[in-house]
């Protein structure tokens, strides 16, 4: 069965503590995006997504292992969770970018 409802969570400084959300409707596929600067708001949003029938949730690279583990524990297997990661070469590029003046 194809995925029809997908959510992407963004954790980064600069987003509101309570978060901000948008939805991108498509033809048979809808993407929900929620961004916040704190993990508690992201967990609440993810729990709401799971309750509303979201089939897959992915997290951005701003989630630490601890954040991801907390999200996974809070959802307790109710929805599949994935995460964005970088291979070694791209992690080096990202680190260089983030540490340059």
What digits encode the pLDDT tens for the residues 1-54? 788 999 999 999 999 999 999 999 999 999 999 999 999 999 999 999 999 999
91: pLDDT confidence band, cut at 50, 70 and 90? confident
84 contacts 60 by C-beta, under 8 angstroms? yes
Boundaries of every domain in the chain: 5-99
pTM of the model: 0.89
Domain 5-99 fold is Rossmann fold (3.40.50)
Answer for the pair 57, 81: CB distance below 8 angstroms, yes or no.
yes
- Among 22, 27, 33, which residue's Cα sits nearest to residue 2? 27
Residues linked to residue 10 through DSSP beta bridges, in sequence order: 35
32-57 per-residue burial string, b: 16 or more CB within 10 A, e: under 16: bbbbbbebebbbebbbebbeeebeeb
């Amino acid at each position: 069965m194809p995925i029809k409802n997908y959510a992407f969570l963004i954790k980064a400084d600069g987003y509101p503590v309570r978060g901000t959300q948008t939805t991108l409707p498509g033809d048979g596929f809808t993407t929900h995006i929620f961004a916040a600067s704190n993990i508690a708001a992201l967990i609440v949003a993810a729990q709401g997504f799971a309750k509303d029938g979201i089939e897959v949730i992915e997290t951005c690279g701003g989630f630490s292992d601890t954040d991801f583990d907390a999200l996974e524990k809070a959802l307790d297997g109710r929805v599949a969770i994935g995460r964005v990661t970088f291979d070694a070469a791209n992690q080096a590029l990202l680190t260089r970018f983030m540490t340059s003046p």
